[in-house]
C-alpha cells in the first residue's frame, strides 16, 4: 500500500503532463455525458410542462344519457387531482340567422354551448376574445363571418320544434382548441368529426337553459348533453411518459368510479402522449449526437495512453527486474487508472457545469437537483470506467502476455489485422446498408406508441444503420490509408519536398513505415470531423425545419389578420411596407367555400409574389414543387389546389372541373364558381390542419366581386420581427391581430421544438470542435518520445531546424488532409442517413439538409491550427542541445 502511494505521488510529481493529458480525454467524455444528460432531463420536464400548458381543458367528461349530471359532477369534484370541474351544456341549433345591411344571412345547423360563470377564467385557453365583451352571448369567428355579425347585432337561434330565439351578440371569439372542444368523447379516432362545427354560439348557462329549454319551463330541446370540463393539478412526475401513465390511470379510475355514468375525453393524456413520443426522440438525439462524442473522447484517451505505452512497458519491466510481483505492478497501474479517473471526473464535471451555464444559462441545464446529481454521478462513473479500460487494461495485458517478438513489431512490419483479413469493414458497411434499407420500409418509425398501451417503446433497430456505417467507414478509411501509405512513397516524397527539402525521401520512408500510428491519427481525426460535421448538419437542418414550421404556423415573419367586418380607414399595403425592417407585404384572401356540403377554408394568393413573403416548402405540396404549382396557378387562373382528402372524396384527376360555392359580395349569396383541379396542398401558411383550398386571388376577386384581404404576410428577412410587429400593432390598433414568428416558435406543434435546441446546439458544437482539435493536435503529441529521438538524431547528424519542423509538419499535413477529407466524406453520408432515420423529429420533413458552412469553416481552421501548433511544438519541444536529448532518450 505504501509503495503504491509512493508510486502515485511520484506520478503526480514527475508525470504531470501524461496524467493531465489522459485526464483531459476522460474529462471530455465525462463533461459531454453530464451536460447532455442533465439537459435531456430538463428537456423532458420542458416537454411535460409545455404539453400541460397546451391543453385548455384537461378532461372533458361526457355525462352519459340518463345519468345524473349533478351526481357525476360531485364525483368528479371529489376525485383526486381535480382542481376545477364545471358543467358545460352542449345543444344543437337548426340554424342561425342574422340581418345586416338589408340582407339576411342564414347558416346550416350548428352547436350551442352553455358556459357556467367564470368559465373563461377557469379555462383561459379555450376562448379568445376578438371583439366586444368576453361574457354574454358569444359568436365564433367563422360564424360571425358567415353571418356578417358584429357585437351588438341580433342573431336568431333556430330550435327544433320551437320558435327561434333572438339574442343580441355581446362578443366575437375565437376557439383555438375547437377540435378537442367539439370532439366526440369516447369515440375512436376514425369516428371523430373531420372538422369542428362551422356555426357555434356560446351562451351563459342561465341563457342556455332558457333557450334550450332545460330550465324547466316548457319542453327541452332535443339533443342537449352535458360535459364536465376538468382542470387537474399537474402530475408529480416531470417525465412525460410517467405523467402520461398517471393521467391515463386517473381517468380510468374516475370512469370506474362513475360506473358508466361518464366517459373521460383525456385531452391532457393526448398531449402527454405526443410529448412522451417527443421525449423518446429527445433521448435518441442524446444517443445519436451525444454518445458518439463520448465514444470519440474515450478513443482519444485510449490513443493518448497508447502513445505512452512503451514508456509504461519500460517502467513495468524495470519494476519487475527490481523484484516487484506482477500483482504489485498491476496495483500501480490500477492506482494510476483511479487517479486519472478521479482527475478526469473532477475536471469533466467542472467543465460540464461551465458548459451548461454558458449554453443553457444555468449550471444544471434546467434539470432538478436529483436529476443533476444522478447524471453527474453516472458521468463520473463512466469516466472511471473509461480510465480503467484505457489505462489499467493495457497494463494488465502487457503484464500477462508481452513477448520480445511481439514488442519488435513496432514499426513497419506488423501483420495485417484480423479484421482487415476478414473484411469486417465491408461487412459492417453492408450491414449498415441493409438496416438502413430495412428501416426505410417502416418509414423510420423509431417511436412505437401502440393504441391502448400506456407505455411506449423505442425501436433502436434503425440506429444500427448510422452506427454500423460510422464504424465500417472508419475501418474502411483505415484500410485505404494504410494501403495509400504503403504504396505511396514516391508521391509522398514529392508532396513533402517543399516542407522538408533534402529530407523528403527520408520523411516519406519514415511515414510509410509508421503508417499504423499515422493511420490511427487519420482515422481518429476523420471520426471526429465526421461527428462534428454530421452533428452540425443535423442541428442546422433541424433549425431550418423548426423555422419553416414556425413560418408555416404564423404565415410569415409577421402576419396581420384584420378583424371581421372592418369599416373605416385601415393601413394600406404601402403604409405597412414603409415600416422599417419590412421587405415585402403580401395580402392573401381568406374565404370559406362549399364543395358539395363540405365547408372549407379557401386562400386566394398572388402566385407570382407569395413566395417573396413566406417560404413555401416542396413538402407542403404533392404533384409538383412549390414553385411549379404556383406557376400553374399563375398560368391558369381557375386552377385550384385541394387537399388529399378532397381528391379522394371526389375522385379527382388533374384538370377535372370542381365547382365551389363562394359568397358573392354584391348579392351576399353563395354563387357557384368553376375551378380546375391542379394539385394537392397538404400545408399552407396560416391554413388549418384540415382540408382547404388554394386559388388564384385575382380570379377569386373577379368571380366574387370582393378583393377583401384575409391576412397580410410580411417578410422582414428573418430579422427584428417583434419590433416590426409592435409598429404594426400601433398602426392597426384593435382592428387587427398582429403576430410574429417568434411567438409561433413557442407554439408550434412538436414539443420537441420547444426544447432549448439553441443551447444544445451550442454545447454539442463546442464539444465537437474540442474533440476535433484534440484529435488533430493531440494525436501528433502521441509517440512524442519516438519523434524526439528521431529529431535529436537528425539534429546531431546536421539537419537544420527548418528541416526538422518540415518533417513534423509533413506528418501533420498528411494526418490533416486524410482526416479532414475522410471525415467530410463519412459525414456527408452520415448526415443524409441521420436526417432520414430521424425524420420523425422534423416538422415539416426537410427536402434537403442544411449545411452550416461557416461553422464547418471555423472547425477546419481550428483543426488546422491545432495540427500546426502541435507540429511546431513537437519540433521545438526542447531547447536543450540535441546531444543531451539523445543521452536522456
For other proteins, the closer of residues 657 and 796 by Cβ is 796
For other proteins, the closer of residues 414 and 672 by Cβ is 414
- H helix or E strand, kind and range, residue 558: strand 558-562
For other proteins, the closer of residues 516 and 836 by Cβ is 516
What gap in Å lies between CA 584 and CA 561, rounded to an integer? 16
**DSSP letter (8 states) at residue 64:** P
Q: State the minimum distance, in angstroms, from the CB of residue 814 to other proteins.
A: 14
For other proteins, the closer of residues 16 and 800 by Cβ is 800
Is residue 794 involved in binding other proteins (CB under 8 A)? yes
Asked if 526 and 775 count as a contact pair (C-beta separation under 8 A), the reply is no
Q: State the minimum distance, in angstroms, from the CB of residue 799 to other proteins.
A: 5
**Residue among 675, 699, 513 at smallest CA distance from 600:** 675
Phi, psi at 85, each rounded to 5°: -145, 125
A 10 A CB-CB count for 706 gives 17
For other proteins, the closer of residues 741 and 809 by Cβ is 809
Q: Which of residues 842-871 bind other proteins (CB under 8 A)?
A: none
Q: Which of residues 561-580 bind other proteins (CB under 8 A)?
A: none
Q: State the minimum distance, in angstroms, from the CB of residue 333 to other proteins.
A: 25
Is residue 628 involved in binding other proteins (CB under 8 A)? no
Q: State the minimum distance, in angstroms, from the CB of residue 796 to other proteins.
A: 6
Q: State the minimum distance, in angstroms, from the CB of residue 490 to other proteins.
A: 12
**Residue among 813, 811, 783, 797 at smallest CA distance from 877:** 783
Give 779-805 as a DSSP string.
HHHTTHHHHHHHHHHHHHTT--HHHHH
Segment lying near other proteins (by CB under 8 A), choices 139-147, 207-215, 544-552, 795-803:
795-803
CA distances from 452 to 188, 221, 228, 496 (A): 11, 36, 23, 67
Q: Which of residues 393-432 bind other proteins (CB under 8 A)?
A: 408, 410-413
For other proteins, the closer of residues 218 and 412 by Cβ is 412
**DSSP letter (8 states) at residue 485:** H
For other proteins, the closer of residues 357 and 497 by Cβ is 497
A 10 A CB-CB count for 396 gives 17
Cis ω for the linkage preceding 324 (within 30 of 0): no
Segment lying near other proteins (by CB under 8 A), choices 97-105, 375-383, 649-657, 782-790:
782-790
Cell of 578: 414603409
Asked if 859 and 769 count as a contact pair (C-beta separation under 8 A), the reply is yes
Q: Which of residues 803-832 bind other proteins (CB under 8 A)?
A: 803
Q: State the minimum distance, in angstroms, from the CB of residue 781 to other proteins.
A: 17
For other proteins, the closer of residues 312 and 516 by Cβ is 516
DSSP lists the bridge partners of residue 400 as none
Cell of 575: 403604409
Q: Which of residues 683-712 bind other proteins (CB under 8 A)?
A: none
For other proteins, the closer of residues 467 and 511 by Cβ is 511
For other proteins, the closer of residues 256 and 797 by Cβ is 797
For other proteins, the closer of residues 689 and 800 by Cβ is 800
Specify burial of residue 413 (Cβ count, 10 A radius: 0-12, 13-18, 19+): exposed
**DSSP letter (8 states) at residue 391:** I
Task: Please pick, from the candidates 216, 369, 580, 798, the single residue that binds other proteins as defined by CB under 8 A.
Answer: 798
Q: State the minimum distance, in angstroms, from the CB of residue 497 to other proteins.
A: 12
**How many chain residues touch other proteins (CB under 8 A)?**
30
For other proteins, the closer of residues 17 and 412 by Cβ is 412
Residues in contact with other proteins, shown as a per-residue x/- string from 167 to 206 under the rule CB under 8 A? ----------------------------------------
Q: State the minimum distance, in angstroms, from the CB of residue 757 to other proteins.
A: 48
Phi, psi at 847, each rounded to 5°: -75, -35
A 10 A CB-CB count for 415 gives 8
Phi, psi at 570, each rounded to 5°: -130, 155
What gap in Å lies between CA 252 and CA 266, rounded to an integer? 10
Is residue 318 involved in binding other proteins (CB under 8 A)? no
For the chain, what is the radius of gyration of the CA atoms? 35
**DSSP letter (8 states) at residue 543:** H
Helical residues (DSSP H) of 555-678, grouped into ranges: 573-577, 610-613, 626-635, 644-650
Segment lying near other proteins (by CB under 8 A), choices 176-184, 549-557, 763-771, 788-796:
788-796
For other proteins, the closer of residues 12 and 486 by Cβ is 486
Residues in contact with other proteins, shown as a per-residue x/- string from 657 to 686 under the rule CB under 8 A? ------------------------------
DSSP lists the bridge partners of residue 167 as 155
What gap in Å lies between CA 844 and CA 552, rounded to an integer? 9
For other proteins, the closer of residues 519 and 803 by Cβ is 803
Q: Is 676 helix (H, G, I), strand (E, B) or coil?
A: strand
For other proteins, the closer of residues 442 and 884 by Cβ is 884
Segment lying near other proteins (by CB under 8 A), choices 120-128, 285-293, 693-701, 878-886:
878-886
Is residue 453 involved in binding other proteins (CB under 8 A)? no
Is residue 799 involved in binding other proteins (CB under 8 A)? yes
Q: State the minimum distance, in angstroms, from the CB of residue 790 to other proteins.
A: 5
Is residue 230 involved in binding other proteins (CB under 8 A)? no
Asked if 565 and 706 count as a contact pair (C-beta separation under 8 A), the reply is no
Cell of 352: 460540464
For other proteins, the closer of residues 266 and 790 by Cβ is 790
Task: Please pick, from the candidates 324, 661, 786, 832, the single residue that binds other proteins as defined by CB under 8 A.
Answer: 786
For other proteins, the closer of residues 666 and 797 by Cβ is 797
Give 267-305 as a DSSP string.
HHHHHHHHHHHHHHHHHHHIIIIIHHHHHHHHHHHHHHH
Asked if 509 and 465 count as a contact pair (C-beta separation under 8 A), the reply is no
Task: Please pick, from the candidates 434, 628, 796, 847, the single residue that binds other proteins as defined by CB under 8 A.
Answer: 796
For other proteins, the closer of residues 10 and 412 by Cβ is 412
The three-state DSSP-derived secondary structure of 431-454 is: HHHHHHHHHHHCCCCCEECCCCCC
Helix and strand counts by DSSP (H, E) for the chain: 33, 25
Give 648-715 as a DSSP string.
HHHT--TT-EEEEEEE-TTT-SEEEEEEEEEEEES--TT--SS-EEEEEHHHHHHHHS----SEEEEE
Phi, psi at 641, each rounded to 5°: -100, 135
Is residue 306 involved in binding other proteins (CB under 8 A)? no
**Residue among 432, 552, 507 at smallest CA distance from 826:** 432
Cis ω for the linkage preceding 844 (within 30 of 0): yes
Q: Which of residues 500-559 bind other proteins (CB under 8 A)?
A: 502-503, 505-506, 509-511, 513-514
Task: Please pick, from the candidates 330, 388, 480, 793, the single residue that binds other proteins as defined by CB under 8 A.
Answer: 793
Asked if 666 and 674 count as a contact pair (C-beta separation under 8 A), the reply is no
Segment lying near other proteins (by CB under 8 A), choices 46-54, 244-252, 615-623, 876-884:
876-884
What gap in Å lies between CA 777 and CA 307, rounded to an integer? 13
Residues near other proteins (CB under 8 A): 408, 410-413, 502-503, 505-506, 509-511, 513-514, 786, 789-790, 793-794, 796-799, 803, 881-884, 886-887
Amino acid at each position: 500500500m505504501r509503495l503504491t502511494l509512493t508510486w502515485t505521488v511520484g506520478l503526480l510529481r514527475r508525470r504531470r503532463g501524461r496524467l493531465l493529458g489522459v485526464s483531459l480525454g476522460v474529462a471530455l467524455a465525462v463533461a459531454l455525458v453530464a451536460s447532455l444528460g442533465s439537459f435531456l432531463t430538463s428537456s423532458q420536464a420542458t416537454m411535460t410542462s409545455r404539453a400541460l400548458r397546451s391543453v385548455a381543458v384537461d378532461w372533458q367528461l361526457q355525462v352519459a344519457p340518463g345519468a345524473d349530471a349533478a351526481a357525476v359532477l360531485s364525483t368528479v369534484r371529489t376525485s383526486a387531482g381535480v382542481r376545477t370541474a364545471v358543467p358545460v351544456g352542449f345543444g344543437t341549433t337548426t340554424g342561425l340567422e342574422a340581418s345586416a345591411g338589408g340582407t339576411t344571412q342564414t347558416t346550416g345547423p350548428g352547436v350551442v354551448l352553455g358556459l357556467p360563470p367564470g368559465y373563461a377564467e377557469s379555462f383561459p385557453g379555450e376562448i379568445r376574445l376578438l371583439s366586444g365583451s368576453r361574457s354574454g352571448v358569444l359568436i365564433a369567428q367563422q360564424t360571425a363571418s358567415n353571418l356578417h355579425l358584429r357585437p351588438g347585432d341580433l342573431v336568431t337561434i333556430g330550435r327544433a320544434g320551437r320558435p327561434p330565439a333572438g339574442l343580441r351578440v355581446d362578443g366575437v371569439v375565437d376557439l383555438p382548441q375547437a377540435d378537442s372542444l367539439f370532439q366526440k368523447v369516447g369515440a375512436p379516432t376514425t369516428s371523430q368529426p373531420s372538422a369542428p362545427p362551422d356555426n357555434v354560439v356560446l351562451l351563459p348557462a342561465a341563457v342556455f337553459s332558457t333557450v334550450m329549454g332545460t330550465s324547466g319551463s316548457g319542453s327541452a330541446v332535443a339533443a342537449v348533453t352535458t360535459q364536465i370540463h376538468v382542470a387537474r393539478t399537474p402530475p408529480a412526475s416531470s417525465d412525460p411518459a410517467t405523467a402520461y401513465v398517471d393521467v391515463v390511470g386517473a381517468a380510468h379510475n374516475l370512469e370506474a368510479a362513475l360506473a358508466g355514468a361518464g366517459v373521460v375525453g383525456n385531452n391532457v393524456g393526448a398531449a402527454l402522449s405526443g410529448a412522451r413520443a417527443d421525449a423518446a426522440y429527445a433521448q435518441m438525439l442524446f444517443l445519436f449526437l451525444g454518445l458518439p462524442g463520448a465514444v470519440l473522447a474515450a478513443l482519444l484517451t485510449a490513443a493518448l495512453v497508447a502513445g505512452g505505452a512503451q514508456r509504461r512497458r519500460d517502467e513495468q519491466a524495470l519494476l519487475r527486474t527490481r523484484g516487484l510481483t506482477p500483482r504489485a505492478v498491476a496495483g500501480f497501474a490500477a492506482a494510476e487508472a483511479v487517479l486519472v479517473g478521479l482527475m478526469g471526473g473532477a475536471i469533466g464535471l467542472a467543465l460540464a457545469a461551465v458548459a451548461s451555464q454558458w449554453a443553457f444559462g444555468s449550471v444544471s441545464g434546467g434539470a432538478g437537483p436529483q436529476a443533476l446529481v444522478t447524471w453527474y454521478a453516472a458521468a463520473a462513473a463512466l469516466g472511471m470506467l473509461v480510465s480503467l479500460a484505457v489505462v489499467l487494461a493495457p497494463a494488465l495485458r502487457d503484464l500477462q502476455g508481452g513477448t520480445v517478438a511481439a514488442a519488435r513489431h513496432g514499426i513497419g512490419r506488423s501483420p495485417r489485422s484480423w479484421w482487415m483479413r476478414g473484411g469486417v469493414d465491408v461487412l459492417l458497411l453492408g450491414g449498415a446498408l441493409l438496416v438502413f434499407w430495412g428501416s426505410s420500409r417502416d418509414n423510420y418509425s423509431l417511436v412505437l406508441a401502440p393504441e391502448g398501451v400506456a407505455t411506449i417503446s423505442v425501436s433502436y433497430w434503425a440506429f444500427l444503420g448510422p452506427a454500423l456505417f460510422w464504424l465500417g467507414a472508419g475501418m474502411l478509411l483505415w484500410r485505404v490509408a494504410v494501403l495509400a501509405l504503403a504504396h505511396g512513397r514516391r508521391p509522398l516524397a514529392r508532396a513533402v519536398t517543399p516542407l522538408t527539402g533534402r529530407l523528403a525521401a527520408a520523411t516519406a520512408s519514415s511515414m510509410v513505415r509508421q503508417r499504423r500510428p499515422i493511420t490511427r491519427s487519420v482515422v481518429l481525426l476523420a471520426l471526429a470531423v465526421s461527428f462534428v460535421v454530421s452533428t452540425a448538419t443535423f442541428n442546422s437542418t433541424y433549425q431550418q425545419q423548426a423555422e419553416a414550421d414556425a413560418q408555416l404556423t404564423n404565415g410569415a415573419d409577421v402576419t396581420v389578420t384584420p378583424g371581421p367586418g372592418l369599416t373605416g380607414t385601415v393601413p394600406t399595403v404601402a403604409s405597412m411596407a414603409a415600416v422599417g425592417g419590412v421587405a415585402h407585404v403580401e395580402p392573401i384572401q381568406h374565404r370559406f367555400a362549399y364543395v358539395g356540403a363540405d365547408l372549407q377554408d379557401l386562400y386566394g394568393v398572388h402566385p407570382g409574389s407569395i413566395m417573396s413573403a413566406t417560404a413555401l416548402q416542396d413538402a407542403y405540396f404533392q404533384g409538383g414543387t412549390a414553385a411549379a404549382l404556383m406557376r400553374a396557378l399563375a398560368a391558369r387562373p381557375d386552377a385550384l389546389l385541394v387537399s388529399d382528402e378532397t381528391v379522394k372524396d371526389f375522385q379527382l384527376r388533374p384538370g377535372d372541373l370542381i365547382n365551389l360555392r363562394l359568397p358573392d359580395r354584391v348579392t351576399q349569396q353563395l354563387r357557384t364558381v368553376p375551378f380546375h383541379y391542379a394539385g394537392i396542398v397538404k400545408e399552407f401558411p396560416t391554413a388549418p390542419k384540415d382540408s382547404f383550398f388554394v386559388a388564384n386571388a385575382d380570379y377569386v376577386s373577379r368571380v366574387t366581386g370582393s378583393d377583401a384581404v384575409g391576412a397580410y404576410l410580411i417578410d422582414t428577412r428573418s430579422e427584428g420581427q417583434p419590433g416590426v410587429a409592435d409598429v404594426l400593432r400601433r398602426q392597426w390598433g384593435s382592428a387587427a391581430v398582429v403576430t410574429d414568428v417568434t411567438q409561433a416558435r413557442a407554439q408550434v406543434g412538436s414539443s420537441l421544438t420547444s426544447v432549448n435546441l439553441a443551447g444544445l446546439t451550442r454545447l454539442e458544437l463546442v464539444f465537437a470542435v474540442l474533440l476535433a482539435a484534440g484529435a488533430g493536435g493531440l494525436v501528433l503529441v502521441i509517440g512524442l518520445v519516438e519523434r524526439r529521438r528521431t529529431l535529436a538524431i537528425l539534429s546531431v547528424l546536421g539537419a537544420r531546424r527548418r528541416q526538422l519542423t518540415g518533417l513534423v509538419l509533413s506528418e501533420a499535413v498528411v494526418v490533416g488532409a486524410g482526416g479532414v477529407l475522410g471525415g467530410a466524406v463519412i459525414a456527408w453520408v452520415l448526415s443524409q442517413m441521420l436526417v432520414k432515420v430521424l425524420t420523425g423529429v422534423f416538422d415539416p420533413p426537410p427536402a434537403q439538409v442544411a449545411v452550416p458552412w461557416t461553422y464547418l469553416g471555423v472547425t477546419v481552421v481550428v483543426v488546422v491550427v491545432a495540427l500546426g501548433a502541435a507540429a511546431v511544438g513537437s519540433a521545438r519541444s526542447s531547447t536543450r542541445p540535441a546531444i543531451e536529448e539523445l543521452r536522456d532518450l
